[in-house]
């Protein structure tokens, strides 16, 4: 081919940028890991953290886990993530399933009822007042109940259910199955990819969430992980203003950052496929 040479140049250019993007995505995390593992003595000797530490120390991790707040907050976060995701999935499914049935009377009205909330909402303060008047302030339920349903996920699941063949429901009904049974034994087993996608979105959301805790929880015993990490980071940020952040603090902060993201990073390679598939599904539907 005539274009052979310029093609090779072009390919080389593409590969170079893609590799640069990959490095850019992963390098910051690697550097944070190496900061958290660099022994104090080495930092003093070299005048700062190095990108690849010559020796390793888990001192920073030992020190942050010696703080009872971190362990306790992990318990809170694990509880909220597990229970919250179950509640999310349950409610999302039982909302999406009836809405996916085209012959449901009043379907348009119910759909409008939930979609309107995406366009207009009462805002921060009125929502806070509702949560307060329900007595949810300073309970773990304030991290679960107010965000129990995400309308976007209901719509994703609904459109997935809609694509199941209508005959499936007919034949199940002829066999005498009731709606709950159809949902549980026929629809859900066929919808594993979509349920997984939505479930994982909810899960990551719970693990990463901090703002609802900032809003609704003042009792520090109930703070979830991200809030505790934030406090650890802010502590130094205020001392940073006086320009005297010490090296062990920096290592401990990075250890906290790793502790707070490790579960996500650990499961990420396995869930990535599903996320992408689920997203593309939603994207193509537009």
Partner 1 sequence: MASGTKAGRKLAGIWQMKALYLMLLPCLVWYFIFKYLPMYGVIISFKDYNFTDGILNSPWADPWYKYFQQFFESPYFSQLLSNTLLISLYKLVFGMFPSIVLAILFHECRISWLKRWVQTLSYMPHFLSWIIIYGISIAFLSETTGLINRWITEAGGGSIPFMNSTEWFRTVLVSTEIWKDLGWGAIIYLAAISAIDPTLYEAARVDGASRLRMIWHVTLPGIRNVITLLLILKIGNIMDAGFEQIFVFYNPRVYEVGDIIDTWVYRTGLEQMSFSLATTVGLFKSAIGFVLIIGANKLAKRWGGSIW
Q: How many CA atoms are closer than 13 Å to the CA of 239, on its beta-carbon side? A: 11
Nearer to partner 1, 192 or 280 (CB): 280
Residue among 35 and 222 whose Cβ is closer to partner 1 = 35
Residue 159 beta carbon to partner 1: minimum distance, rounded to whole angstroms: 15
As measured in angstroms, the least distance from the Cβ of 264 to partner 1 is 5
Listed residue (207, 198, 190, 194) closest to 267, CA to CA: 207
User: At its nearest, how many Å lie between partner 1 and the CB of residue 218?
Assistant: 10
Q: Least separation, in Å, of the C-beta of 2 and partner 1?
A: 8
Smallest gap from Cβ 167 to partner 1, in A, equals: 18
Residue placing its CB nearer to partner 1 in the complex, 48 or 71: 48
Q: Which of 54, 273 has the CB closer to partner 1?
A: 273
Sign of the alpha-carbon dihedral angle for 88, 89, 90, 96: positive
User: Which one, 14 or 56, has the nearer CB to partner 1?
Assistant: 14
Dist CA 129 CA 256 (whole Å): 33
Q: How far is the CB of 97 from partner 1 (least distance, A)?
A: 6
- Are 232 and 252 spatial neighbours (Cβ–Cβ below 8 Å)? yes
């Amino acid at each position: 081919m005539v274009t052979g040479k310029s093609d090779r140049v072009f390919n080389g250019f593409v590969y170079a940028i893609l590799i640069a993007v990959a490095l850019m995505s992963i390098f910051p995390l690697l550097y944070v890991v190496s900061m958290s593992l660099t022994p104090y003595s080495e930092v003093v000797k070299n005048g700062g953290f190095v990108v690849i530490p010559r020796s390793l120390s888990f001192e920073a991790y030992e020190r942050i886990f010696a703080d009872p707040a971190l362990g306790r907050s992990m318990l809170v976060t694990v509880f909220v993530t597990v229970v919250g995701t179950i509640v999310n999935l349950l409610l999302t499914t039982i909302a999406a399933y009836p809405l996916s049935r085209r012959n449901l009377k009043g379907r348009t009205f119910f759909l409008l009822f939930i979609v309107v909330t995406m366009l207009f909402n009462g805002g921060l303060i009125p929502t806070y007042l509702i949560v307060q008047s329900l007595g949810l302030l300073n309970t773990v339920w304030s991290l679960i109940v107010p965000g129990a349903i995400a309308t976007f996920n209901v719509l994703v699941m609904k459109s997935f259910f809609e694509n199941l063949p209508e005959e499936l429901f007919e034949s199940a009904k002829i066999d005498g199955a009731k709606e709950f049974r159809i949902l549980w034994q026929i629809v859900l087993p066929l919808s594993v990819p979509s349920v997984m996608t939505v479930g994982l979105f909810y899960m990551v959301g719970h693990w990463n969430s901090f703002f609802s805790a900032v809003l609704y929880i003042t009792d520090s015993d109930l703070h979830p992980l991200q809030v505790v990490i934030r406090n650890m980071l802010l502590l130094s940020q205020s001392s940073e203003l006086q320009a005297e952040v010490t090296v062990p603090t920096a290592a401990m902060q990075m250890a906290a950052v790793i502790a707070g993201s490790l579960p996500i990073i650990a499961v990420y390679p396995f869930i990535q496929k599903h996320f992408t598939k689920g997203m593309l599904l939603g994207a193509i539907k537009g």
